[in-house]
Amino acid sequence: MNTPVNDAVSLTEQAYAALRDRLVMLEIKPGEPINEERLRTELGVGRTPIREALKRLEQERLVVAFPRRGTFATDVNISDLSHISEVRRTLEPLAAAAAAERATADDRAALTELRSQLDTAPSGDNTELLRADVGVHRAIYRCVHNPFLENTLISYDNLATRIWCVFLPRLSGMAGHVGEHVPLLTAIVEGDGKKASELAAKHVIGFERAIRALI
């Protein structure tokens, strides 16, 4: 019996999301080979969803495929920081303002709940704080209701997060960085696009400065 198309798409999405987050958080190390057989076992999916997920991840610069050698996690190049930040300084404020204007009632309720969760985030665990940071960004992007912009924002936030991960053991003030999302979420929930835009820009600039201080 053939697998229904929707089921195949769902399995590919599951494989993609799981692999993406492992790559973003450097659980799969830069330069590490991607073991498709092991992933099939761990994720409980077939060969096709894994390979479709890898094609998408290659487009997003998270993996690279070499003929006759296989697929590998891409390196993290700190020299890319200025290019990534240039894009994010433009798009993050735009997204925050759009989210403030377009968020539905359900979106605002979800962001309000997320904001309350930030108050209980473990302040001494940089890895968990970074996961919270990623979650907030993705929640805001969903509220833009523009799939093209959302995908672009996620892609660049993923690349920025990989740089964060390189410096994670040496970073101080991570709780404060993540805490910056509280007023940002409040501005979006209250529909204040101008304030949301300003806070998002400040957040991105602060990220770049924090990394450069450690280079």
Claim to verify: residue 49 and residue 115 sit in the same structural domain: no
9 and 54 in a single domain? The answer is: yes
Both 106 and 194 in one domain: the answer is yes
Taken as a whole, the chain contains a residue count of: 215
Q: Domain boundary at 51, 73, 95, which? A: 73
Asked if 105 and 141 touch (Cβ cutoff 8 Å), the reply is no
CATH code, domain with 108: 1.20.120.530
Same structural domain, 125 and 96: yes
Residues 68 and 103 in one domain: no
**Do residue 43 and residue 103 come from a single domain?**
no
Last residue in a domain, options 73, 101, 126: 73
**Who's near 61: CB < 8 A, 6+ residues apart?**
74, 155, 159
Stated pTM of the model: 0.87
Residues 130 and 199 in one domain: yes
- pLDDT value of position 68: 87
Q: What is the CATH number of the domain that holds 12?
A: 1.10.10.10
Tens digits of pLDDT across the chain (215 residues): 444 444 555 889 999 999 999 999 999 999 999 999 999 999 999 999 999 999 999 999 999 999 989 999 999 999 999 999 999 999 999 999 999 999 999 999 999 999 998 877 666 778 888 888 999 999 999 999 999 999 999 999 999 999 999 988 877 777 777 888 999 999 999 999 999 999 999 999 988 888 888 87
- What span, in angstroms and rounded, lies between the C-alpha atoms of 31 and 33? 6
Q: What is the DSSP string of the chain?
A: -PPPHHHHHHHHHHHHHHHHHHHHTTSS-TT-B--HHHHHHHHT--HHHHHHHHHHHHHTTSEEEETTTEEEEPP--GGGHHHHHHHHHHHHHHHHHHHHHH--HHHHHHHHHHHHHHTTS-TT-HHHHHHHHHHHHHHHHHTT--HHHHHHHHHHHHHHHHHHHHHGGG---HHHHHHTHHHHHHHHHTT-HHHHHHHHHHHHHHHHHHHHTT-
Residues 195 and 105 in one domain: yes
Residues 118 and 180 in one domain: yes
Residue 19: give the domain boundaries. Answer: 5-73
Return d(Cα 138, Cα 154) in angstroms, integer: 7
Q: Which domain-ending residue is among 28, 46, 73? A: 73
To 10 degrees, what angle do helices 193-212 and 147-167 make? 30
Domain count for the chain, please give it: 2
For residues 123 and 97, membership in a common domain is answered with yes
Q: Based on the fold, state whether residues 41 and 136 are members of the same structural domain.
A: no
Same domain, 200 and 111: yes
